[in-house]
Amino acid sequence: MRVAFLMAPEGVEQIELTDPWKAVKDAGGEPVLVSTEAGEIQAFNHLDKADTFPVDEVVGDVSAQSFDGLVLPGGVANPDALRLDEGAVSFVRSFFDSGRPVAAICHAPWILVEAGVVSGRGLTSFPSLRTDIRNAGGTWVDEQVKVCHDGPNALITSRKPDDLKAFCEAFLTEFTKS
């Protein structure tokens, strides 16, 4: 199981990267850090700088076909930057076009809204995205984790770091089906 983790050069909530990363590794999978720029990404613990992590692949050099799933960690700045990068948005959209599962937590569904893949789907997120999701045609729910099969692929969403255990279990279940 090869899993892409898409992040901007800075702004990812560290625990929303490290816990799912560890879950993929513990399941025998290969996590791959994909970013919009080469080098390192700067993670944060809310507003405070945390650790840096090396980028494995640049988004313009990879395709969804080389992965079994996509994880979109949150943080406020990370998905906000990604939704302004057409290469990142196209990469996310390509997972939906190819029927591959996607998992997004916290503020990461902003990228899904920008990619135009929310309409007709049920999902959850950090509560402040509720209106954005509804305006994009999605059905927002306040649940620890939401698995949606309303399209050709599975969409797994979660609200916040407190939900990480359930989020990781749900996306691993879906990713191993492919």
Q: In the structure, what pLDDT confidence band is assigned to residue 178 with cuts at 50, 70 and 90?
A: low
Share of residues in the chain with pLDDT > 90 (%): 97
Whole-angstrom Cα distance, residue 119 to residue 10? 28
From the candidates 106, 148, 149, 168, give the one annotated as an active-site residue: 106
Q: State which fold the 2-175 domain adopts.
A: Rossmann fold (3.40.50)
Q: In the structure, what pLDDT confidence band is assigned to residue 177 with cuts at 50, 70 and 90?
A: confident
Structure-token pair, residue 37: 């720029």
Q: How distant, in Å, are the alpha carbons of 14, 37, 160, 177, 178 from that of 100?
A: 25, 24, 23, 10, 8
> How many C-beta atoms lie closer than 10 Å to residue 169's C-beta?
12
Return the bridge partners of 158, or none.
Answer: 105, 145
Q: How distant, in Å, are the alpha carbons of 62, 118, 129 from that of 163?
A: 29, 21, 16
From the candidates 46, 107, 149, 168, give the one annotated as an active-site residue: 107
Mean pLDDT of the chain, nearest integer: 97
Mean pLDDT, range 121-135, rounded to an integer: 98
Share of residues in the chain with pLDDT > 70 (%): 99
* pLDDT tens per residue, range 68-108: 999 999 999 999 999 999 999 999 999 999 999 999 999 99
- pLDDT for residue 74: 97
Q: In which element (H, E) is residue 97 found?
A: helix 86-97
Return the domain boundaries, the chain.
2-175
3-class secondary structure, 84: coil
Q: Under a CB-based contact definition with an 8 Å cutoff, are residues 29 and 176 in contact?
A: no
Q: What is the pTM of this model?
A: 0.98
Q: Residue 150: pLDDT above 90?
A: no
Residue 106: active-site member: yes
